[in-house]
Amino acid sequence: MPQAALLLLLIVASVKCAPGGVVPREASALQGRIVNGILAAPGEFPHQVSLQRKPSKSHMCGASVLNQHWALTAAHCVQVEDTFEVLAGTNSLGEGGTRHTVTAIETHVAYDPNDVWVNDITVVRVSPAFPIDGVKVAPIQLPEQGEEVPDGANVTVIGWGNFWYNGLSPIELRKVDVQVTSQEECEAVWNDYGRPIYPTQICAARFDDKTYGPCHGDSGGPLLYEGKIVGIASWGYACGEPPYPSVYTRVSSYVDWIIEKTNASVVY
């Protein structure tokens, strides 16, 4: 299989590539829109925000509100020399919401983009504070440290990523349901490709009549199970093409770290 098949789910300006460059269709961090998803309802995911470049206001990645001052996203989303802002409180990239400048970035010290983006997690501080009202903007719920998600569980991924590999991008937030892949199965599939899967990563996929899952621009967004963020979209193969499950940072491995870095209250 060509090495050009791995793809980071991150849109950098108008070029769909990840920091350091991504060969088309190579395993890399996620860039793009939800594949074969549907529109999210207004206010359905008030924790979802768009991480954007300043001053172009171009969408790069998804992120999740933790509290008034902090949001959670993928480390690879901020590994470019740039300034960032966050759009909150709207499903549309074209209208509504509030804008917040990123004033601080705390990336996990063990993040390694050269080793399957292990520890792909970052928290960003914003100013002004998010206008949390529980309707348009609300904190996302965290799992407990070490909490497990059952194999085969239905989970939801959301974002403004591409509709298909190298495809168009949406203006409106979209969602799609996928299923958690067992760690053993995910490891076996990706090991055949020459990529390890770590315990701090969780995999999900849906292979039936179509391909479903995250794509370019969905990086940093949440994988949701029973209202909790259990994963952060990190990397995959050509936007969910079988037999390769998409790979997410396992949030329950980092809850203590998130609390330490944000030094503020979060939702459990």
Give pLDDT tens digits for 217-245: 899 999 999 999 999 999 988 777 889 99
> Which one of 100, 120, 218, 234 is the catalytic residue?
120
Q: What is the C-alpha separation between 249 and 120, in angstroms, rounded?
A: 6
- Where residue 90 falls among pLDDT bands split at 50, 70, 90? very high
Helix H segments across the chain? Answer: 183-193, 255-262
Collect all residues with Cβ–Cβ distance below 8 Å to 88 and sequence separation of at least 6: 49, 65, 97, 98, 99, 100, 130, 131, 136, 137
Q: What is the C-alpha separation between 43 and 115, in angstroms, rounded?
A: 37
E strands of the chain, at which residues? 6-8, 28-29, 38-39, 48-54, 59-65, 70-73, 83-88, 98-107, 122-127, 154-159, 174-181, 201-205, 222-225, 228-237, 246-250
Q: Which pTM was predicted?
A: 0.87
pLDDT digits (tens, 9 = 90+) for 169-199: 668 999 999 999 999 999 999 999 999 999 9
Does residue 219 carry a catalytic annotation?
yes
pLDDT digits (tens, 9 = 90+) for 107-166: 999 999 999 999 999 999 999 999 999 999 999 999 999 999 999 999 999 999 875 555
- 9-259 topology per CATH: Thrombin, subunit H (2.40.10)
Q: What is the C-alpha separation between 132 and 146, in angstroms, rounded?
A: 28
Candidates 210, 208, 219, 225; CA nearest to 246 is 219
> Which one of 50, 64, 219, 253 is the catalytic residue?
219
Would you state the structure tokens that stand for residue 261, as one six-digit string?
């870095």
What are φ and ψ of residue 190, in 5° steps? -75, -30
Q: Give CA 105 to chain center in angstroms.
A: 16
Does residue 234 carry a catalytic annotation?
no
Amino acid letter at 199? P
Would you state the structure tokens that stand for residue 60, as one six-digit string?
């790069």
> Which one of 47, 59, 69, 76 is the catalytic residue?
76
Does residue 120 carry a catalytic annotation?
yes
